[in-house]
Amino acid sequence: MARCCKRYLLAMALACTLLAPASSQYWEEAGLPAYTPAPSLVYTDTLHDWLLAAGQTPIFVDPNYGSCLGLFRYNGLDWDTLGLFGNKVNTAVVYNDTLIVGGGFEYMQDTAIAHIAYYAEGGWHPYGTFGDQWGSGTITRLRVIDGVLYAVGIFQNADGQLSNGLAKRVGGHWEPMPGWPTIDFTGDPWLQDIIRFQGKLVVGGGFSIVGTNTRDMLQFDGTSWEAVCNGCLQGGLDAVGGLAEYQGELYVGGIFYYASGNAGQGIMRWDGEDWNSVGPVGDGIQLNDNSDAYSPDLSWMKVRDGLLYIGGSFRSVGHVPTPAGICTWDGAEFCVLEGEPFSIYYAPFDFYHDTLYGGTSEGVDDPAMRGVIRYLGELCANTTGVEEETATAPGLQVTWSSPGVLTLLGLSDGQHTLKVYDAQGRLVLEQAVRSSAGRSEAVPLRDMGTALYVVVVDNERT
């Protein structure tokens, strides 16, 4: 059998990626009437045929009211202001032929509206009362599931009843979910999303339960609450940001890490029995290409035209740079949109008249591309070819599990020999490394100077 030698060039230097301006051919600012970087809401109201966008930049109203945050409306031709709120609008939904919004606001100019409002007859009206005795709290998501309206967030009460961040609409008022207020949480639960999966209501967010390893996800079978799985998300800072069902599996997005013991980083999927990564481990969506040191934030997901759209904060998909933090997944392959990189963040997002609209942050280099940005190119034009793992052995890959710490992916289980040479061919490191489940142990390289190196694995391997 012929001998082979696997060699990988590693540029061990800190690189600063300069984001080039977006091509006007593919992306443009949507024309809002006010400066609106990092919008808290982008939502298509199918009842009125409006696109709604909520800003986080204060708008001065007058000396009596001071500043408010605007909720803007687009009818396909022009933008105008639909409302001025005292704090963020995070979520919107159409329920029983009524537009309802929720968020952190406690008033609209001189009208007290505690975190939730509905639109009727040209104005906004209270749709219940959320918050603690001082009125503080926020609604992060409104969802209609099987004809029932649910609100999740961080709020103590809903219509005067202890709710602990979860309530449902019953008749003309809000009620807590059965059994939820009696759960012994560590502090206040912060809920981010709710969905029905395999006949059960599943809630996700950031929480833990005293005396158990249950955290961040629970499900309700109609009678009682139970863990979705043993431990679910691992790691002290890991949390669920969004939930979506796609092709019969529950997709969970947020900020979480392989290094904590999770099946995925930033996103993974649950089939009812096991967790699986989305794309090969150490590949797929990455905040920084070829690095697992920091998790992408993948809290926004939407199923459309047979594809799962994934939005948030990331720079590459399958080692292909993304113009903004959004891509699609078809169950086997990722797809990135057209254009040069201009923003690492793209969320929240929605489609209006078949055009994609989403939010970018104030950190975008080009001021004209901060706010609500629409996509003018072809959807899913560039398939990266990242496929699900098969029975064949994956190719060897190199990634950074943390700054200055090397990890090898794709090795067979067992012990291997690692050699590192400098650019002059001198051996600067030789050591044995062990691999399990296709991932090697961490190899610290912090003491080596910044230079170009060659890594050789198993030069005697056949």
The Cα–Cα gap between 327 and 337 comes to 7
Q: Residue 350 in 3-state DSSP?
A: strand
Contacts of 424 (CB under 8 A, 6+ apart): none
Reported as a single tens digit per residue, the pLDDT across 304-339 is 999 999 999 999 999 999 999 999 999 999 999 999
Nearest of 436, 446, 444, 445 to residue 409 by alpha carbon: 436
CA atoms within a 13 Å half-sphere pointing along the CA-CB vector of 334: 23
Q: Evaluate whether 359 touches 309 at the Cβ level (below 8 Å).
A: no
The pLDDT score that the predictor gives to residue 446 is 59
Q: Evaluate whether 183 touches 199 at the Cβ level (below 8 Å).
A: no
Residue 1 has pLDDT above 70, yes or no: no
The pLDDT score that the predictor gives to residue 8 is 32
Reported as a single tens digit per residue, the pLDDT across 260-288 is 888 899 999 999 999 999 988 878 999 99
Nearest of 118, 49, 48, 114 to residue 83 by alpha carbon: 118
pLDDT level of residue 459 (50, 70, 90 thresholds): low
**243 exposure class (CB count in 10 Å sphere: 0-12, 13-18, 19+):** buried
| Other Cβ atoms within 10 Å of 223 Cβ, number | 8
Task: Give the torsion sign (CA, 100, 101, 106, 112).
Answer: negative
Tokens of 194: 């709710």
Q: What is the mean pLDDT of the chain?
A: 86
The Cα–Cα gap between 102 and 46 comes to 17
Indicate the residue type of 149: L
| Lowest mean pLDDT, pick from 188-202, 313-327, 375-389 | 375-389
Q: Evaluate whether 277 touches 437 at the Cβ level (below 8 Å).
A: no
pTM higher than 0.85 for the full model? no
Contacts of 426 (CB under 8 A, 6+ apart): none
Residue 427 has pLDDT above 90, yes or no: no
Contacts of 185 (CB under 8 A, 6+ apart): 164, 207, 208, 209, 210
Nearest of 122, 90, 97 to residue 45 by alpha carbon: 97
**pLDDT top residue among 419 and 353:** 353
Reported as a single tens digit per residue, the pLDDT across 67-95 is 899 999 999 999 999 999 999 999 999 99
Q: Evaluate whether 177 touches 166 at the Cβ level (below 8 Å).
A: yes
Residue 17 has pLDDT above 70, yes or no: no
Q: Evaluate whether 32 touches 372 at the Cβ level (below 8 Å).
A: yes
The pLDDT score that the predictor gives to residue 437 is 54
Contacts of 152 (CB under 8 A, 6+ apart): 139, 140, 141, 143, 165, 166, 191, 192, 193, 194, 203, 205
pLDDT level of residue 5 (50, 70, 90 thresholds): very low
Tokens of 130: 């959320």
Reported as a single tens digit per residue, the pLDDT across 43-72 is 999 999 999 999 999 988 877 777 899 999
Query: Can you tell me the mean pLDDT for 392-418?
Result: 67
| Other Cβ atoms within 10 Å of 256 Cβ, number | 30
Reported as a single tens digit per residue, the pLDDT across 215-229 is 899 999 999 999 998
What are the CA-CA distances from residue 433 to residues 173, 399, 403, 411, 445 (Å)?
Answer: 61, 15, 19, 10, 13
| Lowest mean pLDDT, pick from 109-113, 160-164, 233-237, 280-284 | 233-237
Residue 13 has pLDDT above 70, yes or no: no
Nearest of 248, 353, 255 to residue 308 by alpha carbon: 248
Q: Kindly list the structural domains of the chain, giving each domain's residue range(s) and its CATH number in brackets, ordered by start.
A: 21-383 (2.130.10.10), 393-457 (2.60.40.3080)
Answer left, alpha or beta for residue 318, where phi above 0 means left and psi between -120 and 50 means alpha.
left
Residue 178 has pLDDT above 50, yes or no: yes
